[in-house]
A and B are shown apart, each in its own frame.
Chain A
Amino acid sequence: MRRPPFRSGEQEQIDAMIETLRRRSAAALDKEEFTSAVWLAYYEADSSYHLFEGCCDWDAYLHTRLNEAIEALKCERNRRMSVESRFSLNQPVGRSQRPAIDVLFPMQGDFTRGIDFWDYMERLGSPKYNMVRGFCRRDSDQEIMTDLHMAAPEFYQLKWELQADMWKYLRI
């Protein structure tokens, strides 16, 4: 079930909280990746709090879940550190400035699966469809939000829902 829209000033509070957390505990992480992970953790916490409200109040629960997400992000970054050094597929190749992954694995797909995939995406509604188009173009979160004239809470809520949609798609 989709949560009610944010009250006036609530989004700014969350933005400020995310920025404080980033400066305090994760200044070395990529800002966009961090913001995205924390917003997704926020929606996850919002949807699961009813299962845990007997353990602690909302603030303590949110704090715990956001810190777990940040720790997971740090672990992931540490795991990738060596990959992102000299042998990273994100390193540009030659003079083209194209990342190695683009050269080695150019974007091309299976026609039948592609039809299935985009048919499924269309059924999710146009906002999600357009977001996935953006992800496939490898646009950044900010670029997609600008293109689609979306505010951050709406974007991250849809992104969080898309995760669940993609798991459902993989089970089909």
Chain B
Amino acid sequence: MTPAAASIDFSAMELVPHPSASLNSMSLNVSASGHVAMNQRLYEQVVKRVPSLDLEFRIRADCTLLALRISDSPTYKFPKGGRIKDAAFSRRLVSAGISLPARYAMTWDPAANAWVGTLENTVQSSMARALEKSLKSTVKQKKGQ
């Protein structure tokens, strides 16, 4: 059967969505060197609402969900540029079985008055496995440079 001759029922076919371009989406990235960095898009959004970059930074116990919340009593200050070195935080992710680099896809939640991020990595079975994967992935990046 040639495609031209086929009678097509479009309603029976699923729509393939356009891939979401990571450059256009907001994200918070955590590197193996311990840097926590907003991407450009997120930074622009945050700095527009909170020029001081003073925020309330919260994370769920399993580290798969986090929030950067606009608050009257902020607890976490990102420096200009939206990138901070926080090895204690990144090690906490590894302890929770998340290998580095980790990426949290962020969206603005008006009800919570916060940017909420969900983890894009797979959670590893154990801290040892996450550590092993983190060390290997960064070696690959280093060799690729």
Contact = CB atoms under 8 A, between A and B. Distances in A.
Interface of A: 48, 50-57, 60-61, 64
- Greatest chain A CB density within 10 A among B34, B35, B86, B135 is at B135
- Greatest chain B CB density within 10 A among A48, A53, A55, A56 is at A55
Nearest to A56: B131
B67 to A, nearest CB: 21
A55 B100 CA distance: 7
B135 A54 contact: no
A48 B100 CA distance: 16
Given A56-B91, A56-B94, A51 B131 contact: no
Task: Bin the interface of chain B by size.
Answer: 10 to 19
A48 B33 CA distance: 10
A56 to B, nearest CB: 6
A80 B27 CA distance: 49
Interface of B: 30-35, 86-87, 90-91, 94, 100, 131-132, 134-135, 138, 142
A55 to B, nearest CB: 5
B131 A54 contact: no
Considering the complex of A and B, which 10 residue pairs feature the smallest CB-CB distances, nearest first? A54-B34, A54-B90, A55-B134, A54-B87, A55-B32, A54-B33, A52-B32, A51-B33, A55-B94, A53-B34
16 contacts: A51-B32, A51-B138, A51-B142, A52-B33, A52-B138, A54-B33, A54-B34, A54-B86, A54-B90, A54-B91, A55-B32, A55-B34, A55-B131, A57-B91, A60-B131, A64-B135
A43 to B, nearest CB: 16
A55 B132 CA distance: 9
B91 A52 contact: no
B131 A53 contact: no
Nearest to B142: A51
Contacts of B100: 54-55
B126 to A, nearest CB: 14
Contacts of B87: 53-54
Contacts of A48: 142
Contacts of A56: 91, 94, 131
A55 B30 CA distance: 10
Nearest to A68: B135
